[in-house]
């Protein structure tokens, strides 16, 4: 897998069908976000702080004076640089061959926040654990 390039110059890939490119693009971005989130959440607090300090120094910022959002953004950007993610056209080809392989990594594209948290039936379904 290649590192993800933030360039849109190769979008849509030649094999993309009209009407599906925006959905596939959204799923690709969802997949990449999920991969970065998975790694972020697996890090210890100390490691996250070390990464934030390193990124802050590289950006010429003082870590002790940064707000929470800036700290999270710095860590996220640093992780994005180091996590191997496929190029969009490569991901789309693989997704079209086997979409089920990617479903566990998608954060819930097209679902409401309630569906993502409680399941497709909403807060009162058995899977959601909030039955009557």
Global pTM value: 0.61
CA 61 vs CA 57, 70, 83, 102: distances in Å:
6, 10, 23, 37
42-86 pLDDT, tens digit each: 999 999 999 999 999 999 999 999 999 999 999 999 999 999 999
Nearest C-alpha neighbor of 12 from the set 84, 92, 85, 86: 92
Place of tokens 């990617």: 102
């Amino acid at each position: 897998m290649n590192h993800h390039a933030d360039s849109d110059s190769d979008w849509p890939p030649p094999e993309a069908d009209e009407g599906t490119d925006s959905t596939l693009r959204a799923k690709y971005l969802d997949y990449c976000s999920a991969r970065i989130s998975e790694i972020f959440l697996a890090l210890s607090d100390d490691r996250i702080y070390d990464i934030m300090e390193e990124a802050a120094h590289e950006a010429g910022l003082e870590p002790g004076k940064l707000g929470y959002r800036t700290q999270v953004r710095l860590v996220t950007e640093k992780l994005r640089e180091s996590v191997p993610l496929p190029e969009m056209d490569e991901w789309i080809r693989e997704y079209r061959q086997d979409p089920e392989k990617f479903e566990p990594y998608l954060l819930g594209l097209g679902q409401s926040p309630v569906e993502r948290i409680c399941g497709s039936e909403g807060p009162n379904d058995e899977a959601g654990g909030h039955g009557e």
